[in-house]
Structure 1
Amino acid sequence: MAPNTEKIDQGQTEEQLDLGKLAREVGANYLVYPDVKYPPLEPFEHKDPGHLADPKKASLFNHADKIYDLTPHVGTVIEGLQLSTLTDQQKNDLALLAADRGVVFFKKQELNPYQAVEFGRYFGRLHTHNYAGHPPGLPEIVSILYDEKNPATVAAIESKRTSDGIHTDISYEKQPAGLSILKIDLLPSTGGDTIWWSGYSAYDRLSPAMQKFVEGLSAVHTGDYHKRLAKLSGRTIRREFPPDTIHPVVRTHPVTGWKSLFVQPVFTKSIVGMTKHESDAILNFLYNHIAGGYDFSVRFKWEEGSVAIWDNRCTLHAAIFDYFDQGRRHGYRVTPTAEVPFYDPNSKSKKQAEQEAPEKVSSRHDQ
């Protein structure tokens, strides 16, 4: 049984913090970077709440004011429900909906960071970041705040294209992120959108020959990018990064049973068994295939108080850093981890599943 690393606590405070207010007043100065060492993560058995869901997701659909899809392949909005008051069955159904639709958006949420931590624990063991700053007393929180006055931050971001930042969260871990839960509570006057891509559709849009080829591949994932950021900022690495991990290029989602493309430019390093030239050629092709997937992506324009819950096992995402001359953008993320990624050769693509049993996987639920 893994140690309860999600309970690691540094920088305790007796009062509950309003992170949005702090971000407005002092920017990133509210963050703490404790000079401590966390124990290494140990294997654990992940029990996905999506397995307990009602296939019709009635506990959500029958109680929301409105539910609608933003695009055909990824992204659904739920209005009229508060995440802080969801029942266990509603959480189970939400896990399934996120697995089906990739990312689910909730508007006008009252969820505070303490509630977000407890909410996230329902979906898996929470990840505590290796080096990122966190609010006092909340090491499970990753604060999303890029300070426009920090030259190192600006230089790190402006040197890249947005497509270079496409990723799934912490894929370098042996058991990477399952869901990610992000609330935005401070926005610039304009800008700061986020894009998600469907990993299911990214696989489906490959030719049958390419699908067959990539299904047999594994890729190396590394934490080198986060190591470089830690060095750039001069921050302590509180848990040593794991050795490079190997995950399948196509993974099977444990709840839906569908195949999803699982490589990305931030943490994927190379293809196992290939020369550098071969690996680079295949990975660059797949990265460009994903980045060019306008027909299987969704761009979300945040509102203050909105929450996005996405499934890293079947989506990729990237923030758009176009707002530094417009003001600050702030939010906080909680990251439940999940199973070791796997590929089941008997699994199906989403397209195949829809063709064989469309009534079982129909994702249209406009109300």
Structure 2
Amino acid sequence: MVENRRDRRAQRANGTNGAKTLRHEPLKRGTSIDHLEYVDVTPIIGREYPTARLKEMLDAPNAEEQLRDLAITICERGVVFFRAPQDDLSVDEQKHITDLLGKLTGRPEENGLHVHPLYNDPNNLPMEDGTTDKNIYVINSEAAKKLYATMKNRPNALNEPRDLGREWHSDSLFENCPSDFSFLRMQSTPPAGGDTLWVSGYEMYDRLSPPFRDFLETLTATCAQPVFKSACEAGGYDVMSPRGSP
């Protein structure tokens, strides 16, 4: 599964008369991956490729053309899923694809792959082959419990609200340069459940009334992740830096 973290389709700015103007023209998708079978998961967000293999795309003579079209598709659909097994894709190839998705769609040359702030945490799990990689963060529910237990003033299991609506989030918005794409690879899954839900922030914005949109555009947001600082203090190590951008 690959998701888009930043909209590249139409970055807007206020013109001199207050009208919305484009800072950049939207990227135009070509036809290099039109032969791939797909189904749009919903009318608004998500596309699934049931048979496509990323290894074949990477090894194709027009690999960069295909990956650029894939990147634009991810931007347009928000998230894409590859249903067929991708066991022949190595970790280095996965990283290379993720890197190219950004490079081929205009990412600054000086930026690279993201490094998780808590890469130095001793509770981090290795990959299946027993190795670690600073650009790969292994997500595990049991390890996450140890990490988030260090968050100050976090409610305990007895009084924590069961309404998980507050858990909706976009990753790493506290970074000066948040990631534009992320590549999630499933190594083990439960027999049932465990689904990740996705939502289109653009569709939510479009459904707001014009006055409320205008109000929101007067606001700014300051993002932080305090658990990272508390985890470092509890573990006696430093936050990883730099993390993919200058």
Query: TM-score range with shorter-chain normalisation?
Result: 0.5 to 0.7
TM-score normalised by structure 1 residue count = 0.46
Does the 8 Å contact 2:48/2:81 carry over to 1? yes
CA distance in 1, matches of 2:179, 2:125: 18
**Where is the strand percentage greater, Structure 1 or Structure 2?**
1
Does the 8 Å contact 1:61/1:67 carry over to 2? no
Q: Which runs of 5+ in 1 are unaligned?
A: 1-47, 243-335, 338-367
Say whether 1:59 aligns with 2:25.
no
Report the 3-state secondary structure (helix = DSSP H, G, I; strand = E; otherwise coil) of the residue aligned with 2:222: strand
Report the 3-state secondary structure (helix = DSSP H, G, I; strand = E; otherwise coil) of the residue aligned with 1:92: helix
2:92 aligned partner: 114
CA distance in 2, matches of 1:138, 1:241: 15
For residue 117 of structure 1, report the CA deviation from its aligned partner.
1.4
1:101 aligned partner: 77
Q: Which runs of 5+ in 2 are unaligned?
A: 1-7, 9-24, 58-62, 103-111
Question: Per the alignment, do residues 84 and 226 of structure 1 end up closer, same or farther by CA in structure 2, a change over 3 Å counting?
Answer: farther
CA distance in 1, matches of 2:236, 2:195: 28
1:80 aligned partner: 51
Question: Per the alignment, do residues 82 and 139 of structure 1 end up closer, same or farther by CA in structure 2, a change over 3 Å counting?
Answer: same
For residue 131 of structure 1, report the CA deviation from its aligned partner.
0.9
CA distances 1:58-87 after superposition (whole Å, capped 9, x unpaired): 21121x1x2111111111101222112321
Report the 3-state secondary structure (helix = DSSP H, G, I; strand = E; otherwise coil) of the residue aligned with 1:59: coil
For residue 105 of structure 1, report the CA deviation from its aligned partner.
0.5
2:177 aligned partner: 175
- Equivalenced residue count is 192
Does the 8 Å contact 1:131/1:235 carry over to 2? no
Question: Per the alignment, do residues 139 and 123 of structure 1 end up closer, same or farther by CA in structure 2, a change over 3 Å counting?
Answer: same
CA distance in 1, matches of 2:96, 2:240: 22
CA distance in 2, matches of 1:173, 1:184: 25
CA distance in 1, matches of 2:64, 2:125: 28
Does the 8 Å contact 2:228/2:239 carry over to 1? no
1:222 aligned partner: 224
1:248-259 matches, within 5 Å, as none
CA distance in 1, matches of 2:218, 2:148: 39
Q: Among residues 110, 116, 123, which one is paired with 1:129 in the alignment? A: 116
1:28 aligned partner: none
2:39 aligned partner: 68
TM-score normalised by structure 2 residue count = 0.67
CA distance in 2, matches of 1:209, 1:221: 25
1:251-270 matches, within 5 Å, as none
CA distance in 2, matches of 1:113, 1:163: 33
Report the 3-state secondary structure (helix = DSSP H, G, I; strand = E; otherwise coil) of the residue aligned with 2:67: helix
Does the 8 Å contact 1:77/1:104 carry over to 2? yes
Report the 3-state secondary structure (helix = DSSP H, G, I; strand = E; otherwise coil) of the residue aligned with 2:182: strand
Report the 3-state secondary structure (helix = DSSP H, G, I; strand = E; otherwise coil) of the residue aligned with 1:141: coil
Report the 3-state secondary structure (helix = DSSP H, G, I; strand = E; otherwise coil) of the residue aligned with 1:197: coil
CA distances 1:306-332 after superposition (whole Å, capped 9, x unpaired): xxxxxxxxxxxxxxxxxxxxxxxxxxx
CA distances 1:274-322 after superposition (whole Å, capped 9, x unpaired): xxxxxxxxxxxxxxxxxxxxxxxxxxxxxxxxxxxxxxxxxxxxxxxxx
Superposition RMSD in Å = 3.2
Query: Which of the pair has the greater relative contact order for Cα pairs under 8 Å at 6+ separation?
Result: 1
Residue type of the alignment partner of 1:147: E
CA distances 1:318-348 after superposition (whole Å, capped 9, x unpaired): xxxxxxxxxxxxxxxxxx87xxxxxxxxxxx
Report the 3-state secondary structure (helix = DSSP H, G, I; strand = E; otherwise coil) of the residue aligned with 1:167: coil
For residue 239 of structure 1, report the CA deviation from its aligned partner.
2.6
Does the 8 Å contact 1:52/1:92 carry over to 2? no
Question: Per the alignment, do residues 141 and 217 of structure 1 end up closer, same or farther by CA in structure 2, a change over 3 Å counting?
Answer: same
Residue type of the alignment partner of 2:33: L
2:140 aligned partner: 145
> Quick one: percent identity of the two aligned structures?
28
1:1-367 matches, within 5 Å, as 54-55=28-29, 57-62=30-35, 64=36, 66-86=37-57, 87-107=63-83, 108-110=85-87, 111-124=89-102, 125-132=112-119, 133=124, 135=126, 136-147=131-142, 152=146, 159=160, 161-231=163-233, 234=235, 236-239=237-240
CA distance in 2, matches of 1:128, 1:188: 27
Question: Per the alignment, do residues 145 and 235 of structure 1 end up closer, same or farther by CA in structure 2, a change over 3 Å counting?
Answer: farther
CA distance in 1, matches of 2:53, 2:232: 35
* More displaced 10-residue stretch of structure 1: 177-186 or 216-225: 216-225
1:315 aligned partner: none
